[in-house]
Amino acid sequence: MSKNFKFLFLNLLILSTLISISSTSWMGMWMGLEMNLLAIIPLMYSSMSITSSEASVKYFIVQTIASSIIIINITLLMININITSNMNNLNLIMMNSAFLIKIGMAPFHFWFPEIIYGLTWFNSLIVLTWQKIAPMILFMFNMTNNMFTVFVIIVSAIISSVSSLNMINLKKILAFSSINHMSWMMSMMVFSKTIWIIYFSIYAFSTFILIFFVNKFKILFINQISFINNKKEMILFFILSFVSFMGLPPTIGFLSKWLTIQVLVWKNWLFLSIILIILTIFMIFIYFQLMIFSILFNSKKNNFGKISNNLFSFVSISNLINIFGLIIVTFVFNS
């Protein structure tokens, strides 16, 4: 696929998302989602990779099923506009379930890790970040049942943590970590839309830095971290990027979790905040155990060639933002 066609489909991808979230009707929203699906499939498809082609077909099937559920419920809402509110609530819950399918939230996550595993790093970045914007905003506008939302949050946090056991493939780690992050973001949809925007922005930045790093050095598994033997600082930079993605202090990734916990405590949702903290720490412990083991005990080496000064500067600046971002933001808001 030529660069001109990629540029065209990327523009259509951005435009379709804006159409969907700014629409004033359900049909306009649905059309935006369909345009978004038709725009990303050509970007996913690659004649050089069988796994990308397979992943694009799976993605199309799953998204089509979710879109079918949405249009059926839109029709039912238009027909049943004068019936009991219980039926309308059921239709809205079904529609929200379709949005959850589109973003890969548990318990509708069955397709998400496998498709991320088959995509290229660039397409994985799109699915992990941009493709979540429209369904999450529409879910937020359509959210009427807090109990259903809490159920999804808890199930997503549990499944993402349990499924991370002995996981060494970085793409699947990013997929399950994304599910965990979405459980935190969804808790903010209930209480604070502003903090949800902050959380998603930090999540997208951390994901971009981490994927840029692993794509540059062709890292697919955690035990390949020790292969970076040109500059020992790069191993440290990778760990810092991973720490920021996980949301640990003192990186900027911790700011979003800090704000989320603070809001949940203010709203007296202590039980939910404790569950999210415990399950996230459990998942982080597993990842760090694997990373430390691979760095200390893997003796294989691989030469990636000379690292350019521009690459080194970019990675250095991004990690300085990760480290000092939390300190700067804390100082600004407390002054």
Domain coverage including residue 299:
3-334
Q: What type of residue is 130?
A: W
Model pLDDT, residue 61: 93
Beta bridge partners of 169: 221
In total, how many domains does the chain have? 1
C-alpha dihedral, 142 to 146 to 149 to 151, nearest 10°: -150
Residues 6+ positions from 127 with CB-CB distance below 8 Å: 40, 59, 115, 116, 119
- 273, 250, 245, 241: which is closest to 260 by C-alpha? 273
Model pLDDT, residue 35: 92
Q: Please state the separation of Cα 194 from the chain's center in Å.
A: 18
- Find where tokens 């004033």 sit: 24
One DSSP character per residue, 259-286 reads: HHHHHHHHTT-HHHHHHHHHHHHHHHHH
Classify residue 77 as exposed, middle or buried by CB count within 10 Å of its CB (0-12, 13-18, 19+): middle
Whether 129 and 209 have beta carbons less than 8 Å apart is answered as no
Model pLDDT, residue 14: 92
**Per residue of the chain (335 residues), what is the pLDDT tens digit?**
556 777 888 889 999 999 999 988 888 899 999 999 999 988 887 656 778 888 888 999 999 999 999 998 888 877 765 555 555 677 888 888 999 999 999 888 889 998 999 898 889 999 999 999 999 999 988 877 678 889 999 999 999 888 887 788 888 888 999 999 999 999 988 888 889 999 999 999 889 988 888 888 788 887 777 666 555 667 777 777 888 888 887 788 888 898 899 999 998 888 889 999 998 888 888 777 767 766 665 544 544 445 555 555 666 676 667 666 666 666 665 55
DSSP 3-state of 228: strand
**Dist CA 158 CA 24 (whole Å):** 35
- Find where tokens 């990760």 sit: 322
Question: In this structure, what token pair is assigned to residue 289?
Answer: 């155990």
Question: In this structure, what token pair is assigned to residue 325?
Answer: 């971002």
**Dist CA 90 CA 93 (whole Å):** 5
- 169, 290, 292, 289: which is closest to 219 by C-alpha? 169
Model pLDDT, residue 98: 92
Whether 98 and 73 have beta carbons less than 8 Å apart is answered as yes
Model pLDDT, residue 102: 92
Residues 6+ positions from 36 with CB-CB distance below 8 Å: 13, 16, 17, 20, 131, 134
Of the chain, the end-to-end C-alpha distance in Å amounts to: 52
Model pLDDT, residue 79: 75
Model pLDDT, residue 64: 93
Classify residue 14 as exposed, middle or buried by CB count within 10 Å of its CB (0-12, 13-18, 19+): middle
Model pLDDT, residue 303: 47
Whether 137 and 105 have beta carbons less than 8 Å apart is answered as no
Q: What is the 3-state secondary structure (H, E, C) of 203-219?
A: HHHHHHHHHHHHHHCCC
Tell me which H or E stretch contains 114: helix 112-118
